[in-house]
Structure 1
Amino acid sequence: MAAGAAVAVTVVAGTAVYLADAPAAEETTNAANALAYGSPPSGLAAPGGSSAATSTTPSAAASPSGKPSTSTGPSAAAKPVAKGGWIPVDPAAWKAQADAYKAMKTDPVPAGVGNLPEFRADCQYSHRRPDDPIVAPGLPGASHMHSFVGNKGVDADTVAEDLMMFTASTCKPAQDHSAYWVPTLYDNATGKPVETTGFRVYYRSLRSNSSGQMPMPNGMRMISGDAKKKVPTPRGASGQFYCAHYGPGDLDGVARSTNGNWPICGGNATLHFMMQFPDCWDGKHLDSPNHKSHVAYGSNEGCPSSHPVRIPAITFDIQYGVKGTPAGYYLSSDKEGKSASSMHGDAFVMWDVRMMNKQTKNCILQRKTCDNDGYDG
């Protein structure tokens, strides 16, 4: 764990899990001061100290998804090309979403609803491909193997427009057209893939208040974790797989694999993994060259001035229907090391805008527990 990072204990779906949280930013601002821009804020520097004017993103007008337009005339309808770098948000589309969110009234809260500020999408395994439309856009087969949930049409060439046009999904609610993916897990003894048996995506507040809370913009791309990290994950290590439901041996299992990197679960417990994404956004970019610099972690005081917009924090809660074995497992991102340290996740967000706004306002802003469709009570 990096120096200065804090270990947070969170309770999700009845299970206590240790999460590594990012250091709190020193300079903060209320996200409500940067809700809706008529144009990108001119004083906000791009990560690394350069301004947006020096971005490597093409300067063509952005489409509603944030992709540069490839149109050469009123009748042109060429499909946008998948590409990376600094992807700008469409300021008009974001302003329209922000204005609608601020004008939206909250729904009455039924009796018995809890006070966890979150809503969720419950997803199942969709497909497996050696593609990554965030890290290696437009390059089929260029990635290690990934296991996808959510939008069924995702491949290396997927752009934001595709997620809204092709909406068949393994997630509920149906208004979530997003794609989520992680490196494929393999059984070390057989070499066969072990796919997820449950994949819950929380959108929630990480903080003790919801001041300045805004919805997630469509087309947002981000990554949690580090595919290049290759260190052991022994008992008690951060970033390891754990045993759910407090089977005998608790989170670390009743035993470990021969190499010590994987738990062996007791009782009814099975392997799980949880990862957390940032909750603050720069308000200007839907992606960045390293897929992390456009977002950041905030604190109870607010978001850092470089990333002033407070967005829902995505959290993956992933279940695998296996209990662990002495032979252990390996991830497609680290076949040789056979540890869990390279586990990472990608989120390519696309929701029905009204549903995203409604869930954010009812559930996170009001700090009420919601499920796939609304209040959970």
Structure 2
Amino acid sequence: MSYAAVPSPDPGPPPARRKRGRAVLWGGLAVTAVVVAATAVLLTGALAVGPTETTNAAQALPGSVAGTGETAGVGGTPGTSPSPGSQPGASASASAAAKPPAAPPQQATPKGGWIPVDKAAWQRQVAAYQARKVDPVPGGVATIPEFRADCTYSHRLADDPIVFPGLAGASHMHSFFGNKAVDAGTTAGDLTRFTATTCKPVQDRSSYWVPTLYDAATKKPVEPTGFRVYYRSIRTNSTGMMPIPAGLRMIAGDAKKRVPTPRGAHGQFYCAFYGPGDLDGVARSGNGNWPICDPKSYATLHYMLQYPDCWDGKNLDSPDHKKHVAYGTDKGCPASHPVRIPSLTFDITYGVKGTSQGYYLSSDPTGRTASSMHGDAFLMWDQDAMNKRTKNCVLQRRQCDNDGYQN
């Protein structure tokens, strides 16, 4: 069952929150999830769409280039310097320093560019998608347009194959989920060849990563205990929905953002819970940036991150890793990004309740805010599995679990 209602990514102040969640079961562990009209959940990077919208798949010229927002530096984990030859699965040692070290030193971001989609491969995928018939819907399936992948933590590296391709140790520390073979040199072809994954279903060969969270008191990493990726329609209709092309890369959020995250702020971590409770926690860390969850409840720190739902139909990546995708509206996608695709939502659970000392992200070890939280998605599904789920679940607006239709 779906356990988080995601508010619209349209810019603007957060509406009033509900104070009640509902129970869910994730990976055999009881975790809480929040149903809210709109929360102080992170939905950073939401882009306003242009005035002209369309729901067809006509191609348009890509937009202009912008900066990336990723923090560079050798040895992204405070107090560590991973070697260029670090292998996936390697863990960074924790620093014993009394104070969090400064952010990794800035260095020039390597010049990126537009990565064009293989037009022939995309047309084959489109043809197969259009030819696929909708499977019969079992009884009792909810009318929620989504499918999902549940992943577990894989490894930790100061690598980023989207922002710093081929530059081992050039990024701040990231926690990776999904494809187990990912490092700085990973390409789309590698995701196809090396299929070992921590995700269910195994047909999802993608890699997902976020900045590593650290306990401010111990300087030790705090890895997620649950990582679910929803693929869904975030609109009131699924008109023109198409599958995600193999090899699409996207970033949501802003690694350079340095804004306090007090109670009620956008971009904060929040407490997911059973029954009545406070999303902002019953208390805050000393700097006010991190919630402390009710010790008498099942509530733990939680984070949600939503991605765009429109693609330009031409490029698998762009220089800032955002220009090739955009947010649409209920009316459709902007003319510059005419292909409507499922929107990813990272739903992340950390098995901690918060402390007075709080936490920090590898992307902001000195400011210790949550505002630099961001996520990367390097997408590579078995194409038939992607096509089937997009048509059965998202286009037909039926809720699916990891294996497809949910009974």
TM-score bucket (shorter structure) = 0.7 to 0.9
Q: Does the 8 A contact of 1:180 with 1:345 survive in 2?
A: yes
Instruction: Please say if residues 83 and 138 of structure 1, whose CA atoms lie closer than 8 Å, have aligned partners that are also in contact.
Output: no
Of the candidates 163, 188, 211, which is equivalent to residue 183 of structure 1?
Answer: 211
Q: Distance in 2 between matches of 1:351 and 1:118?
A: 16
Partner of 1:222, secondary structure, is: strand
SS of structure 2 residue aligned to 1:250: coil
Residue in structure 2 matching 1:165, options 163, 188, 193: 193
Instruction: Kindly provide the amino acid, as one letter, of the partner of residue 268 in structure 1.
Output: Y
Hey, what does 1:15 align to over in structure 2?
34
Deviation track 1:309-357 (CA, whole Å, cap 9, x = no partner) reads: 0011000000000000000000000000001000000000000000000
CA distance 1:341–1:240, change in 2 (3 Å): same
CA contact (8 A) 1:28 1:304 kept: yes
Task: Find the aligned partners of 2:298 and 2:403 in 1 and give their Cα distance.
Answer: 29
| Equivalent residue letter for 1:116 | I
Equivalent residues of 1:146, 1:183 under 8 A apart: yes
Matched, 1:303 2:333: yes
Paired letter, 1:309: V
1:257 counterpart = 2:273: no
- Do the aligned residues in 1 keep the contact of 2:111 with 2:319 (CA within 8 Å)? no
CA RMSD in angstroms, aligned pairs only: 2.2
Identical-pair percentage:
67
2:96 corresponds in structure 1 to none
Q: Partner of 2:48: helix, strand, or coil?
A: coil
Counterpart CA distance in 2 for 1:277 and 1:127 is 23
Partner residue of 1:270?
300
**Which amino acid counterpart does residue 201 of structure 2 have in structure 1?**
P
Is 1:233–2:261 an aligned residue pair?
yes
2:348 maps to 318
In 1, distance between residues paired with 2:239 and 2:121?
Answer: 23
1:203 and 1:101 map into 2 onto residues whose CA distance is: 16
CA distances 1:108-128 after superposition (whole Å, capped 9, x unpaired): 001100011000000000000
1:327 to 343, 350, 357: 357
- Say whether residues 1:141 and 2:166 are aligned partners: no
Taking the aligned partners of 1:22 and 1:88, their CA distance within structure 2 comes to 22
Structure 1, unaligned runs of 5 or more: 35-40, 50-81
Deviation at 1:247, TM superposition (A): 6.3
Q: What is the distance in 2 between the residues matched to 1:150 and 1:4?
A: 30
Deviation at 1:282, TM superposition (A): 0.2
Letter in 2 for 1:29: T
The aligned counterpart of 1:86 is 114
Aligned length: 336
Q: TM-score, normalised by structure 1?
A: 0.85
Question: Which consecutive residues of structure 2, in runs of 5 or more, have no partner in the other structure?
Answer: 1-8, 25-32, 66-109
Amino acid corresponding to residue 323 of structure 2 in structure 1: S
How far did residue 15 of structure 1 move? 1.6
Is residue 28 of structure 1 aligned with residue 53 of structure 2?
A: yes
- Report the alpha carbon displacement of residue 48 of structure 1 after superposing the two structures with TM: 1.9
SS, match of residue 401 in structure 2: coil
Q: CA deviation at 1:84?
A: 3.7
Distance 1:247 1:228 in 2: 35
Distance of 2:14 and 2:263 partners within structure 1: 16
1:346 aligns with 2:382: no
Deviation at 1:370, TM superposition (A): 0.3
Q: Which residue of structure 1 aligns with residue 62 of structure 2?
A: 46
Residue type of the alignment partner of 1:128: R
Q: 1:3 to 1:125 in 2, by over 3 A?
A: closer
2:10–2:47 contact (8 Å) kept in structure 1: no
Distance 1:247 1:320, change over 3 A: farther
Q: Residue in 1 aligned with 2:133?
A: 105
The letter of the residue matching 2:63 is: P
Residue 362 of structure 1: SS of its match in structure 2? helix
2: CA distance, partners of 1:327 / 1:192: 13
